[in-house]
Structure 1
Amino acid sequence: MAAGNMKQIRRRIKSVQSTMQITKAMELVASSKVRRAKERVERSRPYFDTLYDTITRIAAANRDGSSVYTKPREVKKSLYLVIAGDRGLAGGYNANIFKLATAQMAGKDTAVITIGKKAQEHYAKHAGSVLADYPGIAETMRISDTHSIVRQFLDLFKRGEVDEVFLCYTKYVSPLTQEPRCIQLLPLSFGKEETDTKQSRVLTEYDPSPEAVFNEIIPEYLNGVLYGAVVESYASEQSARRMAMEAASDNAGEMIENLNLSYNRARQASITQEITEIVAGAGQVGS
């Protein structure tokens, strides 16, 4: 019986060791991708900050609310852009963003544009209107790749087919922290205090008008926001995967230690049983 247990334990140890090799390799790959993704995040943030500073300054000069991008309207249909990963094995990364998006969509008539294979798979299983899917673009994303996506939801918004647009993504805070977020893209809203600060800082004349300049720069602003969100989400995905694979490797190591202990105990029990049988047999022969 002990010999059978020992064989099972040896097979289990080999299986766990094979799994541990895979998780270690995935951890190393994710660590390498995290470094590159973090560099992309750091390069994209100044671009977004400059765009945001410019757009709020122009908004301060355009207070009449005449722009189609800022004018509030009755909300009948909402559009959500949901950014998730292209692969699994990333801990709660995908589940967290889906949970947030579901909470935000509750009670609304919604349509969805998915970015990432996991988002595509998730919303294909749920009732609702999926307008477009963009899987496998996050790793090689460029600012020009956002143009078709932004143009699509801008056209829908301007035609009145959707009345508000939201973006759900995961913000990269640190290698250990990622925060799912949902922000409103359209209609744009800037706080009065913020626009007052921009207006008091500099007095600028816009030709032909602040509204015209504002309407021209909004698509570029949205391109920058979407690109930044995809880059942040990709860095978050790789960080979450690295942490998940590190935890899996640590758990596999602990499991191997426990299995080795069980194997040694079974081996000791087998030896003890053999000694007991030999002693018992010798006693019977001697009698």
Structure 2
Amino acid sequence: MASMKNIKLRIKSVQSTMQITRAMKLVASSRLRRAQDRCMRSRPYYEVLNKTLNDIANSNSDFSSKYVKKREIKKILYIVFAGDRGLAGGYNANMFRMIEEKSKGQNCAFLPVGKKAVEYFKKRQREIISESFKVAGDLSVSDCFEMSRMVCNGFLAGEYDEIQVAGTKFVSVLSQVPQTQQLLPFTVQEVEGDREVILYEPNTEDTFNAIIPEYIAGVIYSVLCESTASEQGARRMAMENATNNAADMIESLNLTYNRARQSAITQEITEIVAGAGED
């Protein structure tokens, strides 16, 4: 009977856990839809700016800018996006594994975004340039512009020779891919075909330099939206798997309980029959 009681308590415990994981799955699904909408709305902004920057750079054969000049890589800054909470499968672990592989043997500094990123780099005593963005869920467009100004100023001052942003690309609910993208120096893409002649005031270089911080802020915001959607997608799948596992465990425990109950009943009947036979 004690064994049956323990099994019953275990079933109730797993049922309570399953209710929590089911609720977290529903919350993640709701947040995922909003995050996907933000992703779709954010993409045109930086795509148009990227095209504009390439058009400006290709409009003048003598074009030069401090933002496109490559120099010897002495130090790299990584802007790393991670989650604020766990229970999201391998979302955070995959990002940190990729960053460790990318930064191996390099002189690096980090700008972590999200509580898990701040905790990860602080625990390993890596160089962190700011902890102002430790709650990814509270970030807005203005925060992305602040990050853009910070990294642009650091690049121009020669503190960093290359700026990389690391985030997780949302492919689908089943697939989220961690990846890096180079922000600075800006890589100019050659425009095929005839070039349209456009005059920029006061000149192409000043116009280009004025747009670069806006472009970087747009890329950072896009990575933020993609990473948020990826986190919610990973959490939804993790909670769905946890719910299914809990259901399987409850089914197994119910079977064990029924067997124990049947065994106890059989034993009682046997004892009654044996007692009647002795009489």
Q: TM-score, normalised by structure 2?
A: 0.96
Give the conservation status (yes or no) of the 8 Å contact 2:174–2:237.
Answer: yes
Matched, 1:233 2:232: no
Matched, 1:255 2:264: no
Distance in 2 separating the partners of 1:63 and 1:281: 107
Distance in 1 separating the partners of 2:267 and 2:200: 94
| CA offset digits 1:200-245 (Å, max 9, x no partner) | 3522222222111111100000010001000110111111111110
2:269 equivalent in structure 1: 275
Distance in 2 separating the partners of 1:62 and 1:255: 68
| CA offset digits 1:38-82 (Å, max 9, x no partner) | 111110011121111111111212554631111010111111000
1:135 equivalent in structure 2: 134
Gaps of 5+ in 2: none
**The residue matched to 1:183 in structure 2 has which SS?**
strand
Structure 1 residues 63, 123: CA separation in 2 closer, same or farther (over 3 Å shift)? farther
Aligned-residue identity in percent: 52
Structure 1 residues 282, 101: CA separation in 2 closer, same or farther (over 3 Å shift)? same
**The residue matched to 2:165 in structure 1 has which SS?**
strand
| CA offset digits 1:171-214 (Å, max 9, x no partner) | 112222211111111111133xxx222x7352222222211111
Please tell me the residue identity of whatever aligns with 1:244: A
**The residue matched to 1:75 in structure 2 has which SS?**
coil
Q: CA deviation at 1:148?
A: 1.5
**The residue matched to 1:49 in structure 2 has which SS?**
helix
Distance in 2 separating the partners of 1:24 and 1:154: 44
Q: Write out aligned runs for 1:1-287 (5 A).
A: 3-64=1-62, 66-133=64-131, 134-136=133-135, 138-191=136-189, 195-197=190-192, 200=194, 202-285=196-279
**The residue matched to 1:151 in structure 2 has which SS?**
helix
Gaps of 5+ in 1: none
Distance in 2 separating the partners of 1:102 and 1:111: 12
Shifted more, 56-65 versus 276-285: the winner is 56-65
Give the conservation status (yes or no) of the 8 Å contact 1:62–1:211.
Answer: no
Q: C-alpha root-mean-square deviation of aligned residues, in Å?
A: 1.4
Q: How many residues are aligned here?
A: 278
Q: TM-score, normalised by structure 1?
A: 0.93
Distance in 1 separating the partners of 2:61 and 2:266: 89
**Which 4+ runs in 1 deviate beyond 6 A?**
none
